[in-house]
């Protein structure tokens, strides 16, 4: 599972994301309530296409991986679904 410290590190790196990217990641992976939302649900919430949500998700995950890698080198955790 996700350890508290890992979660805090991940949240810290999310500062690199735009407000919309951060909200999409939080909703897609259920980071606040433990209930991930579908691409369709997130798209409806933001008034954008399902494909655009997917693109922003991929872009955001790439940014997170880069940020986590630079900050924590090989000693970092990114959940498998990333």
Nearest to 7 by CA among 42, 58, 48, 25: 25
pTM, whole model, 2 decimals? 0.77
Specify the pLDDT at position 10: 79
Pairwise CA distance, residues 2 & 48, whole Å: 30
Two tokens at 37?
Answer: 């939302």
Q: What is the mean pLDDT of each run of 10 residues along the chain (82 residues)?
A: 66 89 94 93 98 96 83 58 51
Specify the pLDDT at position 3: 58
C-alpha neighbours within 13 Å on the C-beta side of residue 76: 19
Specify the pLDDT at position 77: 55
């Amino acid at each position: 599972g996700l350890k508290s410290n890992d979660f805090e590190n991940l949240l810290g790196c999310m500062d690199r994301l735009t407000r919309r990217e951060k909200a999409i990641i939080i909703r897609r992976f259920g980071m606040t309530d433990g209930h991930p939302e579908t691409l369709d649900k997130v798209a409806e919430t933001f008034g954008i296409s399902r494909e655009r949500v997917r693109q922003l998700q991929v872009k955001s995950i790439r940014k997170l991986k880069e940020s986590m890698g630079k900050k924590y080198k090989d000693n970092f955790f990114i959940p498998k679904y990333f």
